[in-house]
């Protein structure tokens, strides 16, 4: 079957019109069609969170979403965060606090952190751990990630 569907989607602020197969997963659309390989494919079973992106402002696991489901939506990936002026405060904080070792989970962690801090700019340690429950890291033991989120929260509050 080679049927295709036309979708219109804004990815990191750029409007795109694409012919895609309905079975194309969002994560494959982002990585293979658009070349946005910052979004990682981890478990492929919506458990690990490495593929987390924002769709219409809400963090989702892009391995469990069809590209056609995002027709008409705004998608933001890890590539949307840094600007010519430098890294995003969450990225800075993960760097400063050693919130990563191998870095595989980091794009998803950062996008999940972004959602968490949008909803709760001053999370407690427990709220951070609860908010990042959908993201698995096999290197850090999470301590440094929690520290990074705390630092990012402080810096983002100071910056507004």
Residue (3 or 160) nearer to other proteins, CB: 3
Residue 84: CB minimum distance to other proteins, A: 29
Tell me 134's DSSP state. T
Q: How far is the CB of 118 from other proteins (least distance, A)?
A: 11
Question: Closest distance between other proteins and the C-beta of residue 142, in Å?
Answer: 13
> What Å distances lie between residue 97 and 17, 47, 101, 145, 148, CA to CA?
40, 25, 11, 7, 5
What DSSP string runs through 14-41? Answer: EEEEEEE-TT-BHHHIIIIIS--TTS--
Nearer to other proteins, 41 or 150 (CB): 41
| CA dihedral of 50, 88, 125, 138, whole degrees rounded to 10 | 30
Nearest residue (CB) to other proteins, 87 versus 121: 121
Binding site for other proteins (CB under 8 A): 1-3, 5, 21-23, 25, 28, 44-47, 49, 52, 58-61, 64-66, 68-69, 71, 112, 115-116, 131, 133-136
Provide the token pair at 71. 């027709």
């Amino acid at each position: 079957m080679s049927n295709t569907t036309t979708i219109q989607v804004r990815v990191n602020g750029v409007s795109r019109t694409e012919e895609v197969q309905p079975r194309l997963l969002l994560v494959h659309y982002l990585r293979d069609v658009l070349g946005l390989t910052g979004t990682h494919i981890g478990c492929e079973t919506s458990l690990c969170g490495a593929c987390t992106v924002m769709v219409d402002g809400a963090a989702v696991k892009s391995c469990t979403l069809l590209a056609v489901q995002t027709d008409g939506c705004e998608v933001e990936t890890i590539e949307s965060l840094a600007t010519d002026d430098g890294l995003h405060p969450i990225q800075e904080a993960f760097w400063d606090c050693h919130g990563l070792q191998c870095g595989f989970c980091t794009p998803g962690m950062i996008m999940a952190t972004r959602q968490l801090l949008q909803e709760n700019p001053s999370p407690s340690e427990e709220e951070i751990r609860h908010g990042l429950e959908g993201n698995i890291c096999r290197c850090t033991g999470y301590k440094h990630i929690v520290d990074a989120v705390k630092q990012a929260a402080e810096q983002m509050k100071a910056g507004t």
